[in-house]
Amino acid sequence: MPATAMIQLDRVSKAYNGLLVLNRLSLTVNPGEVVGLVGPSGAGKTTLLHLIAGLIQPDEGHVHVASSRLSYVFQEPRLLPWRSAAANVAAALRANGADRASARMLAQEWLQRVGLAAFAGYYPAQLSGGMQQRVALARAFAVQPDILLLDEPFSHLDDGYKQELLACLRALIQATGVTVVYVTHALPELDGLANHILHLQP
């Protein structure tokens, strides 16, 4: 394993109910790299992200993640419906050690960066799908992650809004230099962003 690798998967296998989803997969992602993962449904893209995030364990092989500062933007925003946009961002910040006052201030700042400063007090149900995903992006970047996992974050959005959010995401990735694993069905989303693109086959 290279000493500098941020994410290292070594001959990892994972099966669900006897169905092999990942078979002896190895992958190395170095700091600051953006790796695109493409492939048809059922190829194991989300499983791979879950393994990196530590949400599941491999049946065989090893997963090594060099930093615990990790963010994950899921296909759906996964916001707490009973907390405002700002409180959702602040909750992640507080979980990562920020006190109440600084979490609130930082949450406001990050909402401003994704263009939602005016909606900080809104509940998720009061926001459109695209706005909710922006809040999820703000939450993901607010914790200053070393690793960012993106699982088709814009798949549910219409094309116009997708381009707008994609531009926002590119700017944030370039500004922060975060290591990214980006799962998508749409190859154009990775144009000019990904250092490597992996094709997974079922």
Partner 1 sequence: MQPTLERAHTILPLPRVAAGLKKFIPAFPPRLRWTLAGIGLLLLGWQLLAMTTHSAIVASPAATLAALHQLGRSGQLGIELVISLKRLLIALALASGLGFGLGLIAGFSRACRALLEPLRWVTMTLPTVFVAILGLLWFGLGDTQVIFLVMVITAPVIYLNTLAGFDTLDQHLIEMGRVYRFPRWQFFTDIYLPGIGFNVITGLTLAAGLGVRAVLMAELLGAADGVGHSFNRAWTFLKTPELFAWMLASLLLMALLEFGLLMPLRRVLMRWQREAG
Reduced to 3 states (helix: H, G, I; strand: E, B; else coil), residue 157 is: coil
- Interacting residues toward partner 1 by CB under 8 A: 53-55, 68, 70-72, 74, 76, 78, 80-83, 91-92, 94-96, 123-126, 139, 143
Q: Which residues of 192-202 are buried (b: 16+ CB within 10 A; e: fewer)?
A: ebbeeebebee
Strand-strand pairing, 34-38 and 196-199:
parallel
Residue closer to partner 1, measured from CB, 129 or 196:
129
Closest distance of CB 69 from partner 1, Å:
9
Alpha-helix runs per DSSP H in the chain: 45-53, 85-95, 100-113, 129-142, 159-176
Residue closer to partner 1, measured from CB, 24 or 78:
78
**Token digits of residue 143:** 């914790």
Residue closer to partner 1, measured from CB, 55 or 187:
55
The secondary structure of residue 74, as a DSSP letter, is -
Closest distance of CB 74 from partner 1, Å:
7
Residue closer to partner 1, measured from CB, 29 or 92:
92
Closest distance of CB 127 from partner 1, Å:
10
